[in-house]
Structure 1
Amino acid sequence: MRWNTLMDLIAIGMKNGDVSIHRLVNWQKIWVLTWPNGTSPSTENNDNSGKSSEEGSSSRLDITAMEWRPDGKVLAVAYNRNVKKLESKEEMDSEKDSSIALVDIENGEVITTITCPSCLITCMSWQFKSNFYLNDRYKLTEDGIDDVMKVCSQPNFNILAIGTSTGFVFTYIFGVLLVGVYELKDRPRVEHVSFTSDLCTMSVLTGTTNPESSTNSDNFQYQSFFLPTFGRNSEQYFIVSHIYAKTFSLLSYLEDIIGSIQETMEDILLELDSKLTSYLQPKGPKNSNGSVLLADELLELLVVGTFSDSLEKFLHQLTDKGLRKLGRSIETTYLTIQRYVVCNVQRCCKHIFSHLNVLRAISLWKNEFDQIGLKTQDINRAIHGVATFYLKSLELQQVIDSSCQNLVCFFRWLLSVTVRFYNDSMPSSQQDSIKISPQDLQYVADFIEENFDCQDNHQDDSMSDASVNRPTATNFTLERVCQYLKPEPLVYRTFAINDQSLNPWFKYLKERPMLVNEDNEGGLILYKHNVESSLITEHRMLVTKARDAFKAPKDALSDFFEKSYDSNLKFTLSLYAKETPKVTHASDEISGFSYIAIAGDLEVESEICILKILTANPSIVHFVLFTVVVVENGAELETNPIDIQFYTESILSMLLVTKDSQYSYLLQLPLASIENNFLLIASGASLQNLRVNLPILRVTIDSTSEIAIRRLDNFKPSQFAVSGSRKVCCISSRAKRRVRVFEMDGNEEEAEEESEIFE
């Protein structure tokens, strides 16, 4: 369970992998996110959903972590499986990937997904930078692009940190741009990861409850790393991440447009198949021997003016009205695709080209952006990818122009033939409108050659083999245009733009390869045109090169962490626990301290440890170790912590249960009440040794105490979620079918709701 940081909303993760969002008022359900192959039978108010059946616990979709973005508009949900491949057999391999879905709070739609290969996501935290202001010299331009990744609306710089079961920590700016992969020594399981408010210190808790995996008696370790890169270069990372978000929002839009083009072409091909299959199917032994071919029949009609029996029957069945309709359908399809290419694809390319050129410019601004680690060569390759894709769209535009001209002439000619033979009653004025000029006849011949015949490069083959390659209902597919919409090399390349022998400019460029060298750091003057590749192939290459353009900052920061691992490790503390401890963190900007609270079954006593870290110098750490004793009716009741979470920067909320599990309590502990008990601790200490050498603080709560406490009658809790901004607390039952919501400033329980099984 996670309360929204700014709104009265709570996210609840279910055991079946669903995520439901509830409003505090009347416990109103806003939407539910359900994935295919989950166990939920239905979905409410969410398009990204599906039905499935239970597949067993080994392949069940489980939620491993949840975290809100600091502005409360996006929810990050971590899963134990790759949600992109839930229906794929590849996802069922032994080494499964895990993933994170970023969900828009407005409608429950998935903005983007993050895949972590061959590991399990164990924890997340989302921290914003305090006192962040963007310098005026870094002013960002607004281009009216739909912000698909919901980044441009964020005024503050923030980082999503992800811990995994294989000892890696990933950092994503705004949750979308990967800028760091940190490999911890010995690659232990990461149970907690967080950043301080200045984003200069990363804290991790690693370990395992498996005694065989532990090298000594202390099986958990807290580590603090000083990583000043984000704090010192937050403005630069802010700019780069905004360019990334805009670029990939455009690429997402471009992918949708290409999908629309493919769907438009598929529709007309289905119509063509339905109209022409009866005629184009094999017509017996005579056809199989190759003596009668569709192109031959059409050319015979064009040159001699005589019909074959099958062609005459086909045109008679199609009628002049059907012929007009079919011709208009194909022409409309061509014009629609051309409009997509000119108005959408090419315009989108220009925007992407502009953003990548801005990225290239800042990569050359060494005194400001050198620490980011951008590589101009990678950016040049991405710019080259945009340019070659744009050239391919221009080529497609020219192909459509030529094909559409031939298409119109072909159907006008076929219509004139049909009218002349079957509709003598047509007025002469209408017959004049479909007259064919000698130039039109050349276009008709070109259309027949392009769409009704196949090239045969093996002239020595038998006639029976040649007839197999002749057109059928499945290869009359307007291939001149369709080939650009397949991830395959182009087959028909007779147009001038693809014929390098017709243009001396190509020869000039071939003799001077440095002019089109995409690795040239000095910048690209000319861009290469890939003759054999299709539009789909160029688009895939563009996406790959665009991703590579933003990889260098991640590689630079990861290398820096690896090389300076020991020098950046400022503090360590080892501890022993039979179960995975509960960990929570908070940063107090006013006092300049950060707090890490650790609670769990620490050896025998169920104690709570709070680390007080100086934000400016993470090597200076104070700690306090304490237990909570509740006095009721003169009896002292020792308690165990079930769950802990910071209510505010200065108040720690604790869910407690007595040793005999008879009573449970909700406690609000002000840190000021134990401020004088913090002691300085040296790096490398063991909590077990400190417990032996130092007395453990007993925090006693009785009727005279000013510490707020509430007993939870007739309720056995398992976990809770608190919100200091909304002043509420939500507690789930041990059976995980019931939740209680408390108004923290009030005296009575706010609400009690029945809920589905959740985690």
Structure 2
Amino acid sequence: MPAFRQVGEKQLPQEVVFMAWSPKRDLIALANRAGEVLLHRLANFQRVWSLPPNENTGKEVTALAWRPDGKILAFGLTDTKRIILCDVEKPESLHSFSVDSSITYMHWMEVTEESSVLTSFYNAEDESNLLLPKLPALPKNSQFFFWYAHQHIFFSFYRLNALVVGGSSGFIEIYAYGMFKIAMVTVPGSCCGLCLSGDLKSLSVITEIQDSPDSEAEMTYFQLDTSLLSSYLPEVTRMARKFTHISTLLQYIKLSLTCMCEAWEEILMQMDSRLTKFVQEKNTTTSVQDEFMQLLLWGKASLELQALLMNQLTVKGLKKLGQSIESSYSSIQKLVISHLQSGSEALLYHLSELKGMALWKQKYECLGLDASGIEDAITAVGSFILKANELLQVIDSSMKNFKAFFRWLYVGKLYYIVSMTQKDITFVADFLTEHFNEAPELYNRKGKYFNVERVGQYLKDEDDDLVSPPNTEGNQWFNFLKNSTHLKESPLLFPYYPEKSLHFVKRQMEEIIDQCLQKPADVIGKSVHQAVCMSLYKTSQRYFLWNDKTSNIHYVLFTMLESSVSKVYILRRYTDTSRSVSNGLIAVEFGNFLNNNINESSDSRCYSCLDAHFYDDETVTVVLKESVEQEGKERILAQLPLSSVYTDEDQEREFIWDSTKRLDEQSGEISTRTVFLENQWRVLENMKAQYVAVNGIRKVSCVLSSNLRHVRVFEMDVEDDGEAEEEEEEEEETTQIAAGEPEELNQSTDNQDSVCGASAEELPGETEEQELSLDP
């Protein structure tokens, strides 16, 4: 009997192109040909949620990767060149960003190195929470409330982790904590697979190089030296945390500004449009300002102004307009004070700490931190805070003006003045003088003659200058700065842009911060250099896989179809590029184990490997089929122990690679190990299996058929005790749990019981992402 059993099977409506097991839970993520991302549980392949494609994200998924703690799923979209980070609890985007090329592969790794410096840093990293006030939540009715409510997920994983992204043009980008880019590298060809080692010493890459459209693609293995990241791990970790804080705060400010725009409604523009229409239709030569002044001072209005007030605006309309303006202004004012200002202050804090780090040149100069660039970013944030304060002043002034104006209009309609003091009359007169001057040039530019409502111009995402900038004449501070040549250029004073909108200054701030934080990615990327380049083979088909072992060894698995369909080649490289591993390359072929006849010639029954993935550090899970002459035979799911591959005999014949030739041209010189599997295999009846995805921590595997629609799920390493009654009880328990379980996941992450009845077990702290690309 096999050592693993089937626990689920399902026919899927769409072709599956990617599968990836969660490193912590009994969950598997799928991406299908329709661009849909799905999350399934182990038992009966029960769907948890699905995320359909849309115009804002993309429709062609080309890569999947789990964050090592299993709380975030990343998927790449090649049609929009975007990467989406999705919360495991709900099919909602937590964060997304664009890349420069089509995405072909992703790998999310966790740093395994520990040091006393890092441990103390993890313990003290929350000191900013003690010094800075907690950012207030965004309005619950906002479409962005979900992001803010779950943004703590990005900071719940203190150990440095990095999302490595590869693209069709050979670009490779490393994103610390899946959010901020800390390195950019370019290799020849299109990335088909990559793996950043847990000690950050090297990056292994396999690319497909095609010289011309008519030529055959050549598969090449690169090992890139990333020792700068390893040597400065504490500094890289601290810098990455700061970058992630800054990125999150920029997103928070952006979403707060969007909430402000939602609070500002188009109804606030009704007064401007009504007055413009009034100017276009009136026959009198008197200006609008004079007509309102006449109504204010003498209580009389022209027939046309009476029609405007009584028929178009109406008493009910004026009250509604006044209430709308007051409510919107009040909401915007609260958002500026509680959100923009608090977010900007936190941004200044983290940028200032980053500047202090940059001044420690011995530690951070080689990582690309530039104190002058960070100073420019701090200055840009200061300018944004000044513009936000200016908006507060405009809101405060406008609220007073509009309250007095509408209170006067309510009584002005009745042609006599009541409840209006001389001070109120003076206030309204000043308001009419300042706001009711006709400006024909506005009509050519904005399609109106008036700009009575002056808050909306700050919130419009336009490059045009403000229609009505603040009046700084008579301001003693501005006059003092204007006459002071020394203070005018002082770095202690933030630049002020009176003609620009809040959106414009915000975009300018984002651009300067992006430029400031882009330099480390360029500098670190340039430090990465090629240590090994090995041309593997030329073929129209490919499959390969590697696993970063705890012993700091890269494993690469591949087949060379033109050389031998029955052999699997395993390449071993130390993550430290200065070291060489003994017998770094060996070929494996499978002996005749179906009949359990070891004495039978291995050539009498030949197996080719269709797919393989590392189950854990010591075992490889493979899908086998018999030779071409016996194509009708069943496929086999098997476990290949590496202990049966690497023995002391391997020292006798060490492969010496000739760099002038491709590897397939030297395949005859590679040592071959014939393996006879014992009970670690199972025949996959009535299934043309082609691909497999595994998770050694959860002890599960998922097999996919060649038509990409038929899946089977297996529990591995299950002891066969022969007690059928116990299995039936476990299946009953599984059915009850699955039936009573909500669509959304519960909050428990680690040590979660398998819904198939497997007992709970304590999960190791270090996990490994398993990923499968099915497209040739």
TM interval, short-chain normalised: 0.7 to 0.9
Separation in 2, partners of 1:128, 1:316: 70
1:21-36 → structure 2 map (5 Å cutoff): 21-36=39-54
1:14-53 → structure 2 map (5 Å cutoff): 14-36=32-54
Q: Once the 2 structures are TM-superposed, how far is the Cα of residue 149 of structure 1 from its aligned partner? A: 7.4
Distance 1:575 1:313, change over 3 A: closer
Structure 1 residue matching 2:554: 3-state secondary structure? strand
Q: Once the 2 structures are TM-superposed, how far is the Cα of residue 453 of structure 1 from its aligned partner? A: 2.8
What's the counterpart of residue 223 of structure 2?
A: 224
What's the counterpart of residue 295 of structure 2?
A: 301
What's the counterpart of residue 535 of structure 2?
A: 574
Distance 1:645 1:469, change over 3 A: closer
Q: Once the 2 structures are TM-superposed, how far is the Cα of residue 694 of structure 1 from its aligned partner? A: 4.2
Maintained 8 Å contact 1:396/1:481:
yes
Distance 1:689 1:601, change over 3 A: closer
Separation in 2, partners of 1:362, 1:475: 53
Structure 2 residue matching 1:675: 3-state secondary structure? coil
Q: Aligned letter for 2:590? A: V
Q: Aligned letter for 1:31? A: W
Indicate yes or no: 2:627 matched with 1:659: yes
Structure 1 residue matching 2:84: 3-state secondary structure? strand
Q: Which of 339, 342, 347 pairs up with 1:347?
A: 342
Structure 2 residue matching 1:532: 3-state secondary structure? coil
Q: Aligned letter for 2:565? A: E
Separation in 2, partners of 1:386, 1:644: 51
Distance 1:211 1:197, change over 3 A: same
Q: Over aligned residues, Cα RMSD in angstroms?
A: 3.2
Indicate yes or no: 2:120 matched with 1:120: no
What's the counterpart of residue 520 of structure 2?
A: 553
Distance 1:439 1:202, change over 3 A: same
Maintained 8 Å contact 1:580/1:600:
no
Q: Aligned letter for 2:198? A: S
Structure 2 residue matching 1:35: 3-state secondary structure? coil
Maintained 8 Å contact 2:268/2:324:
no
What's the counterpart of residue 603 of structure 1?
A: 563
Residues 30-83 of structure 1: CA deviation (Å, up to 9, x unaligned) = 11112225xxxxxxxxxx88xxxxxxxxxx93222111111111111112211x
Residues 581-618 of structure 1: CA deviation (Å, up to 9, x unaligned) = 222122332x4433222235253434211122233445
What's the counterpart of residue 40 of structure 1?
A: none
Indicate yes or no: 2:377 matched with 1:382: yes
Indicate yes or no: 2:160 matched with 1:157: yes
Separation in 2, partners of 1:404, 1:372: 50
Maintained 8 Å contact 1:170/1:180:
yes
Q: Aligned letter for 2:268? A: L
Maintained 8 Å contact 2:222/2:532:
yes
Q: Once the 2 structures are TM-superposed, how far is the Cα of residue 539 of structure 1 from its aligned partner? A: 0.9
Residues 257-293 of structure 1: CA deviation (Å, up to 9, x unaligned) = 21222222224326657xx74x753587753xx7144
1:598-747 → structure 2 map (5 Å cutoff): 598-599=558-559, 601-617=561-577, 619-621=579-581, 622-633=584-595, 636-660=604-628, 661=631, 662-676=633-647, 678=650, 680-682=654-656, 684-685=658-659, 686-701=662-677, 705=678, 708-746=680-718
What's the counterpart of residue 468 of structure 2?
A: 492
Separation in 2, partners of 1:158, 1:489: 43
Separation in 1, partners of 2:62, 2:68: 20
Distance 1:637 1:364, change over 3 A: same
Structure 1 residue runs of 5 or longer lacking an equivalent are 38-47, 50-59, 83-97, 422-430, 458-465, 517-524
Indicate yes or no: 2:438 matched with 1:444: no
Separation in 2, partners of 1:177, 1:284: 54
Maintained 8 Å contact 1:191/1:205:
yes
Separation in 2, partners of 1:153, 1:681: 46
What's the counterpart of residue 110 of structure 1?
A: 93
1:56-205 → structure 2 map (5 Å cutoff): 61-82=59-80, 98-117=81-100, 119-133=101-115, 134-136=118-120, 139-140=124-125, 141-143=127-129, 144-145=134-135, 148=151, 150-184=153-187, 187-205=188-206
What's the counterpart of residue 428 of structure 1?
A: none
Residues 628-686 of structure 1: CA deviation (Å, up to 9, x unaligned) = 23343467421111111000011011111112332211110110111115464456544
What's the counterpart of residue 15 of structure 2?
A: none
What's the counterpart of residue 522 of structure 1?
A: none
Q: Once the 2 structures are TM-superposed, how far is the Cα of residue 484 of structure 1 from its aligned partner? A: 1.4
Separation in 1, partners of 2:259, 2:534: 57
Structure 1 residue matching 2:173: 3-state secondary structure? strand
Q: Aligned letter for 1:163? A: G
1:289-438 → structure 2 map (5 Å cutoff): 291-317=285-311, 320=315, 322-419=317-414, 421=416, 435-438=419-422
Separation in 2, partners of 1:398, 1:112: 34
Q: Aligned letter for 1:106? A: E
Maintained 8 Å contact 1:101/1:113:
yes
Separation in 2, partners of 1:341, 1:99: 31
What's the counterpart of residue 4 of structure 1?
A: 22
Maintained 8 Å contact 1:610/1:624:
yes
Separation in 2, partners of 1:400, 1:630: 83
Q: Aligned letter for 2:509? A: L
Structure 2 residue matching 1:307: 3-state secondary structure? coil
Maintained 8 Å contact 1:666/1:711:
yes
Aligned-pair identity (%): 28
Separation in 1, partners of 2:85, 2:650: 39
Which stretch shows the higher mean deviation, 672-681 or 244-253? 672-681
Q: Once the 2 structures are TM-superposed, how far is the Cα of residue 349 of structure 1 from its aligned partner? A: 1.2
Work out which structure has the larger RCO, using CA pairs closer than 8 Å and 6 or more positions apart in sequence.
2
Q: Once the 2 structures are TM-superposed, how far is the Cα of residue 350 of structure 1 from its aligned partner? A: 0.9
Maintained 8 Å contact 1:280/1:294:
no
What's the TM-score once normalised by structure 2's chain length?
A: 0.80
1:486-565 → structure 2 map (5 Å cutoff): 486=460, 487=462, 488-496=464-472, 503-516=478-491, 525-561=492-528, 565=529
What's the counterpart of residue 455 of structure 1?
A: 439
Separation in 1, partners of 2:94, 2:591: 47
Separation in 1, partners of 2:446, 2:310: 21
Distance 1:574 1:315, change over 3 A: closer
Residues 399-418 of structure 1: CA deviation (Å, up to 9, x unaligned) = 12222222122122222223
Distance 1:297 1:713, change over 3 A: same
Separation in 2, partners of 1:105, 1:198: 27
Maintained 8 Å contact 1:345/1:393:
yes
Q: Aligned letter for 1:483? A: Q
Q: Aligned letter for 2:496? A: H
Structure 2 residue runs of 5 or longer lacking an equivalent are 1-18, 136-147, 721-726, 739-773
Maintained 8 Å contact 2:481/2:487:
no
Structure 1 residue matching 2:467: 3-state secondary structure? coil
Distance 1:575 1:333, change over 3 A: closer
